[in-house]
Amino acid sequence: SGPGVAADLSALYPGTPPGWGAGMNDLQLRMAYQQHTRQSRRLYLGAIPPGTKVPELQQFFNDAMLSSGAAVNPGAGAPVMQVTINQDKGFGFVEFGAMEDAESALMFDGITYNGTQLKLSRPKDYIAANNPLIIARGGMGGGGGEQGG
């Protein structure tokens, strides 16, 4: 906690605005960043077969991520932190520990689980411009706006 701490935060916590985390200790910073990045670490999961159990689906995605090389940091352990399922409506969410893993997992859209093709996508409330990875890479790259002409 010396004079250079604030400058180091953007390297440790990509995509955070200037001044973010001022006055927080390490634990508070980690917790705040988890909340700050949650939207960018979650994926919508549709077409979940009836009777699917959370631990089995979580293991399925962890295995798929690790065996395919899609996990960005396999040495960090299981990439999936949490799976939630709405059994009545057949959808849920997969929450990853790292934003990069959520981004990488999008390649599994259409993967077959227990004979059903799962739909995997960003949730409806996802806003790409708020994703710290995209911010850290310099923004949307101009692809999202209208061009003059």
Q: Model confidence over 37-90: pLDDT tens digits? A: 999 999 999 999 999 999 999 999 999 999 999 999 999 899 999 999 999 999
Over the stretch 1-35, which tens digit does the pLDDT of each residue have? 444 444 567 778 877 888 888 899 999 998 998 88
Integer-rounded Cα Rg, in Å, for the chain is 18
Over the stretch 117-142, which tens digit does the pLDDT of each residue have? 999 999 999 989 888 888 878 876 54
pTM above 0.75, yes or no: yes
Strands in the chain per DSSP E: 42-46, 80-86, 91-96, 112-113, 116-117, 119-121
CA–CA gap between residue 98 and residue 37 (Å, rounded): 9
